Amino acid sequence: MMDMGEYKRVEQFLLSLLQDTAILSQPRRLVRVHNGLAAIYTYNHDYVKALNHYHEVLRLSLTYLQFDHLDLIPIYKAIGDNHYNQKEYSNALENYEKAIKVLEQNPSPMNVNTSSDLHNSISMAKQLLKIHQ
């Protein structure tokens, strides 16, 4: 497990990559950088920063992926999870449902666990929405 100092070094390294023109000119590389930053911020419970980077991951991914590509599912799930962690259950639910929609457009027995996980997340978000309304 990395200690906080290592996370800080990785964060600084990834932030420096955002200044690299070789990275900036290639959306797929830029996605990996933003995804790494988002993961660090999520781990450190800085959900606002994490969401900013996950939204950038989604925006960039949609420049080279179709709107129903399976690679979008974990992005929507991560966005939903960060909203959920901030008690923004409506936004969480919206993103979980987007992930399910993509999943349903790509049926496969390989997706059973993902589907189950998303349905559980949807169920929890709906329950918490009812409680907090």
* pLDDT at residue 48 is higher than 70: yes
Q: Mean pLDDT over residues 104-125, rounded?
A: 88
pLDDT digit string (tens) for 58-71?
999 999 999 999 99
CA angle, corner 101, sides to 41 and 27, nearest 5? Answer: 50
Q: How many residues does the chain have?
A: 133
**CATH fold label, 67-133:** Methane Monooxygenase Hydroxylase; Chain G, domain 1 (1.20.58)
Q: What are the DSSP calls for 47-75, one per residue?
A: HHHHHHHHHHHHHHHTTTS-TT-GGGHHH
Range with the poorest average pLDDT among 1-5, 39-43, 78-82, 125-129: 1-5
Tokens of 21: 């023109």
* pLDDT at residue 42 is higher than 60: yes
Residue tagged 């960039």 (tokens): 60
The pLDDT value recorded for residue 6 is 87
Arithmetic mean of pLDDT over the chain: 93
Q: What is the dihedral of CA 48, 49, 51, 54, to 10 degrees?
A: 180
Cα-based distances in Å from 107 to 34, 69, 110: 28, 12, 9
d(CA 50, CA 37): 7
pTM for the full predicted model: 0.92
- Cβ-contact 102, 70 below 8 angstroms: yes
Residue tagged 């919206």 (tokens): 94
- Tell me 108's DSSP state: -
Provide the pLDDT confidence category of residue 2 given band limits of 50, 70 and 90: low
The domain locations on the chain are 1-64, 67-133
